[in-house]
């Protein structure tokens, strides 16, 4: 029969106590999640249309900067636009307004029209009212579908991550006015 020394008893008690505390800490964190605003993580799919109007008397996209050499590039390399574009339920400009795309895009490619997009989708309707999603990525405009990362959000979308798929629904080549369909898939708490 093995003898139990005080060291073995203290050592065994310490490990049992440590495992019990570790288990309770994990359990305690799970209990705190709802108290600090984090329930179960879920995925949401949002679908809307982005109206980028450059040509009207009241444009929603305005060029704010360009390099001296921007005009020599067919891709408008170096041009920077600020945007406050309507987000609507349907493709028609008269469709229900659900939010605004606010931020900027810049022509960041010399060879083709490749835009750097840095914008917030600020929602103003329904269960997402007051919440935002932040998109930061490359928009290769002439591809059929472009994927850009969702890098964060606020309100309902705190700690959001996901991706946005953009598809040009309509484009006027003379004015550069466009309507872009967005499907956004986002994980959030």
Give the start-to-end residue ranges of the domains of the chain.
41-188
Q: Which residues pair with 103 in a beta bridge?
A: 83, 119
Q: Considering only 8-17, 74-83, 90-99, 160-169, which range has the smallest mean pLDDT?
A: 8-17
pLDDT confidence tier of residue 39, bands split at 50, 70 and 90: confident
Closest CA to 163 of 75, 18, 45: 45
Q: Which two tokens stand for residue 76?
A: 């408008």
What pTM, to 2 d.p., does this model score?
0.81
Q: Is pLDDT above 80 for 59?
A: yes
Residue whose entry in the numeric block shows the structure tokens 């959001």:
160
% of the chain residues with pLDDT over 90? 78
Q: Considering only 35-49, 59-73, 170-184, which range has the smallest mean pLDDT?
A: 35-49
Closest CA to 165 of 151, 144, 188: 144
Kindly list the distances between the CA atom of residue 30 and the CA atoms of 19, 23, 26, 157, 188, in Å, as whole numbers in the listed order.
Answer: 17, 11, 6, 20, 16
> How far apart are alpha carbons 33 and 18 in whole angstroms?
23
Task: Select 41-188's CATH number: 1.10.20.140, 1.20.140.10, 2.40.30.60, 2.40.480.10.
Answer: 2.40.480.10
Q: To which H or E segment does residue 13 belong?
A: helix 6-35
* Per-residue pLDDT reduced to its tens digit, 112-171: 999 999 999 999 999 999 999 999 999 999 999 999 999 999 999 999 999 999 999 999
């Amino acid at each position: 029969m093995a003898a139990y020394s005080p060291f073995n008893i203290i050592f065994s008690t310490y490990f049992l106590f440590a495992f019990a505390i570790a288990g309770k800490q994990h359990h305690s964190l799970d209990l705190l999640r709802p108290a600090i605003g984090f329930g179960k993580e879920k995925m949401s799919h949002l679908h809307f249309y982005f109206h980028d109007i450059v040509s009207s008397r009241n444009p929603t996209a305005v060029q704010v900067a360009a390099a001296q050499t921007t005009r020599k590039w067919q891709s408008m390399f170096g041009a920077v636009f600020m945007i406050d574009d309507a987000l609507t339920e349907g493709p028609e400009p008269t469709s229900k307004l659900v939010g605004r795309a606010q931020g900027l895009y810049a022509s960041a490619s010399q060879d083709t029209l490749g835009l750097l997009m840095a914008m917030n989708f600020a929602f103003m309707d329904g269960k997402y009212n007051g919440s935002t999603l932040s998109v930061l990525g490359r928009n290769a405009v002439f591809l059929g579908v472009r994927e850009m990362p969702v890098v964060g959000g606020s309100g309902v979308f705190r700690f959001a991550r996901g991706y946005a798929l953009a598809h040009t629904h309509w484009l006027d080549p003379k004015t550069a006015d466009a309507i872009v369909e967005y499907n956004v898939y986002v994980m959030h708490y």
